[in-house]
Amino acid sequence: MKTLTFNNGDQLPILGLGTWKSKPGEVFQAVLWALEAGYRHIDCAAIYNNEKEVGDALARAIADGIVKREDLFVTSKLWNDCHRLEDVRKGLSKTLMDLKLDYLDLYLIHWPISFKKGVGFAESREQFYTYSDVPLAQTWQGMQQVKSEGLVRHIGVSNFNISKLEELFAVGGQGPEMNQVEMHPYLRQDKLVEYCRGKEMLMTAYSPLGSGDRSTSIKKSDEPNLFEDPIVKQIADQYDVSPAQVLIAFSIHRDIAVIPKSVNKERINQNFQSATIQFKSPDLDLLLGIKNQYRFIDGSFFTGSKSPYSLRDLWEEV
């Protein structure tokens, strides 16, 4: 398995199992299947509400000798209601307890959006904090602290644009080591990728398949289907693989970690085999040249008249 390397030499398997939208009752078996198939990178988050079951699967796999803890790379994310300095460690402690781990390999600030403590998804202005209430610099100082305590090996962010990343680098000390964002041929994030590489930050692509199984409440009726893109289908036929495998391999060929989600054993195995696909340069160029650009996870559920935040707080322009 191809790996990406942090500045201290630690390595991240470039292909991982995503667990967003994996339901309790399904995710336990999905994680076990993935580890049996050879995955060693598991991506989690507190707000996915399934970390206890993921933790049960990790514990079972370790006890059964399928994998050793030191061979695993486990990522989780700090939810929006734990952005105050005093809450960062509390959020992490709950995640470590649920995952049954002594440390995380990577811990990310999930969104550059702050809620008041105990809020799952803010539904009124009173449930939000503003950047004046809780500056991102304060949250980042909390992340630096938990790393210095050895509770996490690496720290980073998710869904951060360049201006928000600049705020964190201005704090001094350890800067973000990872930025996890939506990426696929319809959202290459070229400007953000160039910036992160210039800062020696690694990147992870979430929703590499377009996240078609997400809730209809956060979908648009006319959104495109990555699997039906003519170029994706052409290359899939050419290499005798599935469109999903082409989309996963797209990120791998860009040296960007990728975390497709599945709870289906066959698809988990197929996704893992994407790492063996060797595109020829002209085919990668075709994927990089797709004109259609679309953001599936647009973040609009965090903005609007009841929120102090706007989409400019989240994204670079496509």
Q: Got the DSSP string for 158-227?
A: ES--HHHHHHHHTT-SSPP-EEEEE-BTTB--HHHHHHHHHTT-EEEEE-TT--TTS-GGG--TT---GG
- Check whether 154 is labelled as a binding-site residue: no
Residue 184 lies in a domain: yes
Residue 27 lies in a domain: yes
Share of the chain above pLDDT 70, in %: 97
CA angle 233, 181, 130 (to 5 degrees): 145
Catalytic residues: 48
Cα distances (angstroms) measured from residue 127 to each of 78, 164, 172, 173, 302: 17, 22, 30, 31, 11
The whole-model pTM stands at: 0.95
Residue 153 lies in a domain: yes
The per-residue pLDDT for 217 is: 62
- Name the token pair of 264: 């289906």
Single out the residue of 148, 21, 4 nearest to residue 73, CA to CA.
Answer: 4
How high does pLDDT run on average in the chain? 95
Task: Note the pLDDT tens digit of each residue in 106-162.
Answer: 999 999 999 999 999 999 999 999 999 999 999 999 999 999 999 999 999 999 999
The per-residue pLDDT for 212 is: 67
Task: Note the pLDDT tens digit of each residue in 164-206.
Answer: 999 999 999 999 999 999 999 999 999 999 999 999 999 999 9
Mean pLDDT of 260-287: 94
> Which domain covers residue 277, as residue numbers?
3-312
How far separated are the first and last CA of the chain, in Å rounded?
31
The per-residue pLDDT for 222 is: 81
The per-residue pLDDT for 134 is: 98
CB atoms within 10 A of CB 173: 10
Residue 138 lies in a domain: yes
Max CA pair span of the chain: 54
Residue 318 lies in a domain: no
Which alpha helices (H) appear in 222-300, and where do they start and end?
A: 230-239, 243-253, 265-273, 281-288
Single out the residue of 272, 273, 266, 265 nearest to residue 31, CA to CA.
Answer: 265
Q: Are 51 and 76 in contact (CB under 8 A)?
A: yes
Task: Note the pLDDT tens digit of each residue in 9-53.
Answer: 999 999 999 999 888 889 999 999 999 999 999 999 999 999 999
Please determine, for residue 56, whether its predicted confidence score (pLDDT) is greater than 90. Answer: yes
**Which of 72-86, 178-192, 234-248, 300-314 bottoms out in mean pLDDT, i.e. has the lowest?**
300-314
CA 48 to chain centroid, in Å, comes to 12
Residue 247 lies in a domain: yes
Cα distances (angstroms) measured from residue 199 to each of 9, 174, 182: 16, 12, 19
CATH number at residue 248: 3.20.20.100
The per-residue pLDDT for 219 is: 65
The per-residue pLDDT for 216 is: 66
- Tally of domains in the chain: 1
The per-residue pLDDT for 215 is: 64
Residue 148 lies in a domain: yes
Q: Cα–Cα distance between 67 and 142 in angstroms, integer?
A: 31
The per-residue pLDDT for 317 is: 63
Q: φ and ψ at 5, to 5 degrees?
A: -120, 125
Residue 244 lies in a domain: yes
The per-residue pLDDT for 207 is: 95
Question: What residues have CB less than 8 Å from 124, skipping those under 6 apart?
Answer: 306
CB atoms within 10 A of CB 138: 17
